[in-house]
Amino acid sequence: MNAKVYFIGAGPGAPDLITLRGARALGAADVVLYAGSLVPEAVLEHCREDVQAINTAGLNLQEQKDWYLRAMQNGWTVARLHSGDPSIYGATAEQMELLRGLEVPYEVIPGVSSFTACAAALGAELTRPEVSQTIIITRGSGRASPVPESEALAGLAAHRATMCIFLSGRQLETVVAELLTQYPPETPAALVQRVSQPEERHHRAPLGRLLSGLKLSDWALTTMILVGGALGEDLGVTSRLYDPEYAHRFRRAEGGAE
Ligand SMILES: C[S@@+](CC[C@H](N)C(=O)[O-])C[C@H]1O[C@@H](n2cnc3c(N)ncnc32)[C@H](O)[C@@H]1O
């Protein structure tokens, strides 16, 4: 057998929020490399009992490469398990580059990203007619991954779209101050931590009061910041999709032509 690597989206942490395809690929793997800082071990329940499970939290890229080389030599199937969806803040592109260099075939299996799982936990839709039809996914600048100047938070916030801000639990005060330069203080906002995991918790408040009374260090890790008018409840706005007067390919308008 020739080696192959599957990049698998683990989802936000609950073992039943991985896709069927992801769980099957995980169940067929000889080796699983997983980002243990974000992927709970519970997700490994889909693996074979004799799988070699390696937590990559302590490995650098060269050490990960060594695992891919071992897989090549032994014809192993490798599951590279990333939290949420592998295409978002997964540092997967550099691994794919490495695999292309080694001529090891790879395939990507998407996952439920944490931002959609957070929306689900809040019972919210992120796009609302006339309020916001745009979702901005971003993060505060980090030591390992600086954000380009053209994507500064205040500039993105000027759109007043729905924003989902990753990787910024340690910068809550800075992030909220930047957002408040553009969004009115009454804009609905939320923090969601470890969504779908046993420690899940959320906190909703208008942006201007989002951090009042919170012990900020409790929210430093695995937290999503969501903000935008769309998160408001009982907005009284409805899409035209189910309007009886609105016809489309699958439904005639009441008393009207298709
Ligand atoms: C390295 S990024 C990985 C994102 C991942 N690829 C995704 O699609 O969700 C890690 C950040 O994602 C967010 N995150 C990941 N899992 C989460 C969860 N279960 N609950 C809340 N936020 C989460 C947090 O903002 C965290 O700092």
All domains in the chain, ordered by first residue:
4-109 (3.40.1010.10), 114-231 (3.30.950.10)
Residue 12 in this model has a pLDDT that exceeds 60: yes
pLDDT of residue 242: 65
Task: Note the helical H segments in 6-113.
Answer: 20-28, 61-74, 93-102
Residue 255 in this model has a pLDDT that exceeds 60: no
Residue 104 in this model has a pLDDT that exceeds 70: yes
Name all residues whose Cβ lies below 6 A of ligand 1.
12-13, 38, 82-85, 88-90, 113-114, 118, 166-167, 192-197, 222-224
Residue 59 in this model has a pLDDT that exceeds 60: yes
- Please give the Cα distance from 131 to 241 (Å, whole number): 16
188-193 sheet: strands from edge to edge: 135-139, 162-166, 223-227, 188-193, 201-206
**pLDDT 10s digits, 180-218:** 999 999 999 999 999 999 999 999 999 999 999 999 999
What is the percent of the chain with per-residue pLDDT over 90, rounded to a whole number? 83
- How far does residue 146's CA lie from ligand 1's centre (Å)? 17
- How far does residue 239's CA lie from ligand 1's centre (Å)? 30
- Please give the Cα distance from 210 to 191 (Å, whole number): 8
**pLDDT 10s digits, 109-156:** 999 999 999 999 999 999 999 999 999 999 998 777 889 999 999 999
Give the least confident one: 81-85, 156-160, 170-174, 251-255.
Answer: 251-255
Measured from the CA of 111, which atom of ligand 1 is nearest?
8
Given a contact cutoff of 8 angstroms between Cβ atoms, the answer to whether 14 and 85 are in contact is no
pLDDT of residue 27: 98
Supply angle C-alpha 76, 79, 81, rounded to 5.
160
Task: Work out the pLDDT band at 247, boundaries 50, 70, 90.
Answer: confident
- Please give the Cα distance from 29 to 237 (Å, whole number): 48
pLDDT of residue 233: 85
Given a contact cutoff of 8 angstroms between Cβ atoms, the answer to whether 199 and 193 are in contact is yes
Run of H or E including 80: strand 77-82
Name the nearest CA neighbour of 43 among 89, 111, 92.
111
What is the percent of the chain with per-residue pLDDT over 70, rounded to a whole number? 94
Name the nearest CA neighbour of 90 among 49, 126, 47, 137.
137
